[in-house]
Structures are given as structure tokens and as C-alpha cells.
Chains A and B, each alone.
Chain A
Amino acid sequence: DAGVIQSPRHEVTEMGQEVTLRCKPISGHDYLFWYRQTMMRGLELLIYFNNNVPIDDSGMPEDRFSAKMPNASFSTLKIQPSEPRDSAVYFCASSFAGDGLRQPQHFGDGTRLSIL
């Protein structure tokens, strides 16, 4: 079975450009999570969805970040305009509903984003 698929794997762009990261969760999973990993802060939860509905976006750093989940098989994380401090590895993860957040998550391999 395919796992969580993220694209692109690497993205290098200039400051001020719009960046769109994509995620396809595992079929049948009800939750989808977006994380950012940096050396300083480790793995930060940015936002998560349940059945395509955003539940908690308190981790989104600022208004330049937005996330959507138009259907059960696709989600995007957008940064507009991008800044050098947004450089990080961004992970998407999904899980079954089960007992809410008390479920192991399946992670994609991440998108390494570099803003010049």
C-alpha cells in the first residue's frame, strides 16, 4: 500500500515567491497533519484536519501560511510570500480516527524547503 505521499521532495525558491506543498494521505485515514521540523524547535505541529475540516491551526506561524484540504485525498500548505526563515523540512502525516488524536501517525518523507 502507498504511504503518505508528499511533493515536491525539495523546493528552492527566492524570497517573496509563493510556495505550495502537497500531500496525499493514506486512503481511509480521517486525520491529516502538517508539521515543520527545524533544528531549533524540533517537530512543530502547524495544523490538523479531521474529515477535511481544519480543527486546530494554532501552530500556523503567521498569516503568510495557509492550508486547505479540498477532499479526503489531497491537502496543500501554502506560504505567500515566503521568507528565508521559512526554510525547514515540512512533513505531512495521516491517521485513522480511532480514539481521536491517540493514534499512531503515518508520515510522508517530507519536503525540504529552502528560501533564498
Chain B
Amino acid sequence: DQQVKQNSPSLSVQEGRISILNCDYTNSMFDYFLWYKKYPAEGPTFLISISSIKDKNEDGRFTVFLNKSAKHLSLHIVPSQPGDSAVYFCAASGNDMRFGAGTRLTVKP
């Protein structure tokens, strides 16, 4: 069962532009959401999170938006840099936790 979905397997953007990665979930019991970044041959590393009591959390170039009614969250990276090229995983947790399948972001110089 795919309780957390990242429908875009890949995304390509130009350096300096905004990257928007999307994530949808189905389980209304999830109340805490995280984004992880993964480089090749390394494990995922935590990037940013948001609680369901908020609709936005910002950390430098990274902002996560949460739309609870739509069960949708997104990660915005602005401006995008070549070093941001990686696979991004969305995760949802509560009494359970699940990861999405990931979106491969490529930022072109």
C-alpha cells in the first residue's frame, strides 16, 4: 500500500530557479512530515520537517508547505544549486511511518 506518493520520479531545473518537489499521503493519522536528501552511495540525510499544526516551515533556501485538507506537501528550493542534485524522499509519520519512492532532482548549471 502506497500511503506516501511522490508521483514525479525525476525533475530537472536550471541553476538559480525554483525547484518544487511534491508529495501526497493518504493516511489522515500522519501528523509529522519530513524531507530527506540522498546522494549516490550514501544514506539519506534529514533536510527539513513540518508538524501538522503548521502549514509552512522555512530553513534557508528550503521551505516545506503542508496542505492538510489536500493531504499534500511540497518542498521548495530557491535558488536551486547544482549541489542540490540528489534524490529527495518525503516521509510521513504519526503512530506509523512511511517513505515515498523519491524524486531525482537534477539542477543544471
Contact = CB atoms under 8 A, between A and B. Distances in A.
A associates with B: yes
Interface of A: 4, 35, 41-45, 56, 91, 93, 99-102, 104-110
A109 B43 contact: yes
A40 to B, nearest CB: 8
B101 A101 contact: no
B99 to A, nearest CB: 4
B104 to A, nearest CB: 11
Interface string B42-73: 11111001010000000000000000000000
Interface of B: 6, 31-32, 34, 36, 41-46, 49, 51, 89, 93-102
B99 A45 contact: yes
A43 B95 contact: no
Interface centre among A101, A102, A104, A106 (most CB of B within 10 A): A102
A43 B102 CA distance: 8
Contact of A110 (B43, B94, B100, B101): B43
A45 B96 CA distance: 10
Given A42-B101, A42-B102, A105 B46 contact: yes
Contact of B43 (A4, A42, A99, A102): A4
A42 B93 contact: no
B46 A101 contact: no
B18 to A, nearest CB: 24
Contacts of A102: 31-32, 51, 93-94
B31 to A, nearest CB: 8
